[in-house]
Each structure stands twice: as C-alpha cells, then as structure tokens.
Structure 1
Amino acid sequence: MSDPAQELIALLDLEYLDVDLFRGAHPESTRQRVYGGQVAAQALVAGARSVPDDFSVHSLHSYFLLPGDYGVPVIYEVERIRDGRSFATRRVMARQHGRPIYYQTLSFQRAEEGFDHQDVMPDVPGPEDGMDLVELMRGGGNEDADALGKEWAALDVRWLGNSRHGLEPDPAHPSQARMWIRVRGEMGDNPLDHLAAFTYASDVSLLGASLAAHPANPASVQMASLDHAVWFHRPFRVDEWWLYDQTSPSASGARGFSIGRVFTQDGTLVASAAQEGLIRPKTR
C-alpha cells in the first residue's frame, strides 16, 4: 500500500544537477497547469539546500509568472543574495522552456530567543466535524475536482465553512473560510520536509476565501495565484491537524487578496500566509 506522506516527500525532493541548480519532477496529472503549491515547495527546498544546517527558513515571498507545464521538469536555480551571522537570504528562479515561471525570495535565521506573543485561536469545531474539500468541489461542479483529488491525495482537508455557508456572519470580516488540514501518514522528523509540505498545502484554498462573500460558484470563476507569501512562526508537524483560518480583506479589479492564520489543535499560532490572485468570471 502506498504511503501518501512519503510520496509527497519524494515529490518535493529535488535532483541535484550542479551547485545551486536542481530539477523537480511532477506527479501524473490531467490538469493543464502545474499546481502552484508544488512549485513553491520545491523552490523552498532548493533554497534551503544552499544554507548551513543551523539556519531555518522563517519567511518566503514569491510571484507566479507563467503557468507551469506538466510535460517537462522544472529547473530551480538558487542565487545566494546574502550570508550574515543571524540571517541569510536566497532567491530561487524556477524555469521551463528557457523562461522563468516563478520567483521566490527566502529569508533564513539561526534560532534565537526573543519576545513572544500570539493571537488567540478562534473557537471552531474539530476536524471530525468538517467536510471533505474535494467532495465539496466535486459537488459544486468543479471540472478539476477529480484530478485535484488525485494530485492532492497526500492532503486530508476538512472544510468547516465560509461566510455564506456554515460560519457566523462577521460584519468586520465579510469574506472568511476555515478548514482543518493535515498530511496523511507519517512525515518523519526532518523539519525541512514539514516546512516544504506545509508550503505545498498552503496554496490549496487560500485564494478561494476571496470568493466567500460573493454568490459565485468557484467552478464558474477563472482563478490563478499571482503571488504567495508565508511566514513560519513556530515549529509544528504538518502530519497533525492544523486550522487554516482564512480572511479576505479585499477583492477588486478582478483580484482577490487573502490572509491565512495557521493554528495547531492546542491553539499555537505556527504560521501565516498571504496571497493575491486573479478571480475573473469565466466567459464561456
């Protein structure tokens, strides 16, 4: 029997080509463009392989430039921007067919102690009360639901609701969505595997929060990530449940902007993410 967690780790691993040059593979897929979370996670792995072992990534910022092609591998080239005593900075370019398709800038830090505070986790039902996200997409007529269900087989996503269905109205935050996520199976104890797997999962639903305030079926909307940022606050295991608490402060000009807070089940705020993307009604 296959192990989804180990298959995800293998997918996000990279083939070494030369110093700071790597090649990433794809899963089998019938979709037209490569899942953005995969490219972001593989780029993170490429950047992490260029820093000393006592440095850990604390943030990444990125832009999606062109759709990825499943027909050819992605080449990742790392640029060493800065190496300091406490922080290191890397830029990673992902390219296909000789053209950049994605850029990512990462900041790494040596562990140190400091001030500590965090937001309180919202009061929400547990994962057992959520609904399978892919089943919801399938029921909503999303043409990619079957392909995404196969591609995201390593992810267990339990949807709790959004501003139009399941969540209490909040006038201060009119467009919200919440769900529990974990990787199926055991991820092992390599911290980089957990960081990369989280980056992979962080792109699953974030842009969709920008539609939660509108009577629009996501299946009828052209959606594409334009940029993506992640901040890692505290260590956590991605193969244990974490709450993705998503809010969209704004949508305008055919773009939606969403922010996600990530809490473990004990209420610890472990990461934050932000994304802007295209949200345009399909014309066909």
Structure 2
Amino acid sequence: MEARRIAGIVLFLVVALLLALLVLADEETGRDDVSPFLDPLFYIKASAVITGAVALLLLFLGNKLKEAQKTALFWLITAPVVISSLFLAGNTIYENAISETGGPIHWHADYQVWVCGQRLDLIDPKFPSNKIGTPLFHEHNDDRIHVEGTVQHIEDVNLGRYFATIGGLLEEGRLRYVAADAEIEVKDGDACPDSSVGTLQVYVNGKRTEGYADYQYYPHPLVPPGDCVIIEFDATASDTTDRICESWAASEWSYGSFKRPAVTIGEHTWQ
C-alpha cells in the first residue's frame, strides 16, 4: 500500500509538472501560430521531469521492484532522452535549412520612446528572467532590441512585431508602451498635457520613416552600425530629429555623416 501511495504521488507530480511546462512553453513562443509541441525545449524539459520522477521511484521503491519493473523504468528514462535529443537535432537542422537568414542570427538595434517630451522606460524584467519578450526577440533593460536565434522570416522580427512581443503596440498613428510606472497609450490627435495635439512619428537614424510598423532594422550585432530608432509622439511632426541613441553618441556617430556597407538578405536590402 505504501509503495502504491508513493507511486501515485510521483505520478501526480509528473502530470502537474508536464502541464506547467506546456503552459510555460505556450507563453514563451510569443506567437499564437506556433504550437509548444513544436518547441524542442519542451521535450527536453519533459524528459527531465520524467527522468527525475523515475529516479524518485527508484530511490524509494528500488528494493521492492522486480527485475522486469526495473527494466521498464530504465527504458522509461532512456526513451524520452533519446527522442528529445533526436527531435532537437532534427528541428535545428530543419529550421536552419528553411530560415530566410540561413541559420541563427544576432542582431541589435537601439531605440527610444518619447511621449509629449517625456522619455519612457520599459518595465524591468522580473526575477528569475533577465528579459522582456521571448528567447528569440527581447529587451534586457537596455533600450535595445535583441534578435538572437533562428528566424524563419525576416518580417517576423520587424519593429511592429517587437512591440507586440514586449506587450505593447506600434501601428500607424498608434502606440502602446508598458512603461516602468504605467502603461501608456496614445494615438494621432490625442492632446499632450500642454494641450498641444500630438502625432506619432518614427525616425530611423535621424530621418522620419513611413510604414514604421513593418520597418526592419539594419542586420548587425553591434550598435552602431545597428540602427538608432526614435519613436516620438508630440506636436512637432518634423521630418528629422536631433534625438540620438546613447550608443551612437558614445561612438561619436552622427546622422549626417555615418557610413556602413549595404547588406542584402533574400529580398531585403539595407544601407
């Protein structure tokens, strides 16, 4: 009876942990069209849970188990580990083969968000996480867009997708940003505290850009030469901005004189 009770408790814990992993995996994908069952990390974590559960059973019931039962538990450990490892290897090869970038990338772009003359600071990550967003697409409390991993389609990591990933919104004439002190949402025609009527503008390397939600920043791991993106809601509606990212200023880069090589990936070209 004692053995059955222990086995029942372990089985309950395994089911609970697997369900928790499924929920967490669904949240970490950051996309509604990606199933957690296609994430190899889910299977690795699941195999770890199963292995731990079997180890507990062997610890508490090892002396009471028959040889056939021990053999079955051995394969219960081996099979998930082998299957998850093979799935990880196959998935990695497949994703790299179909990726528009030809494999993993590490791109960065710096940005600032200004609303009615006030610079907004994104919420800080909550321990134990060190990022806001997903493993592929995130911010590390540094006002920097990080793209780190294999990207199937370059448009999956454009400026609008970034804001959606961090819990905000960027679309034509509308901005929502989860700042450290409050969630801020503005749209064209809203009034600032000084009663001036604001419009949303996005500047890339000093120049106003149209279709900014679909904008794809320069593909480079360093900033500069990575882009400096200024998002501003106010009444100025200027074609240029004097605001500049700290990384550009520290490197003594200026909007009027910077030079960098052209890059082409698939149908996308950057200058």
Q: Which has the larger radius of gyration?
A: 2
Q: Which protein, 1 or 2, shows the higher relative CO under an 8 Å CA cutoff with sep ≥ 6?
A: 1
- TM-score, normalised relative to structure 2: 0.24
Higher share in helix: 2
- TM-score, normalised relative to structure 1: 0.23
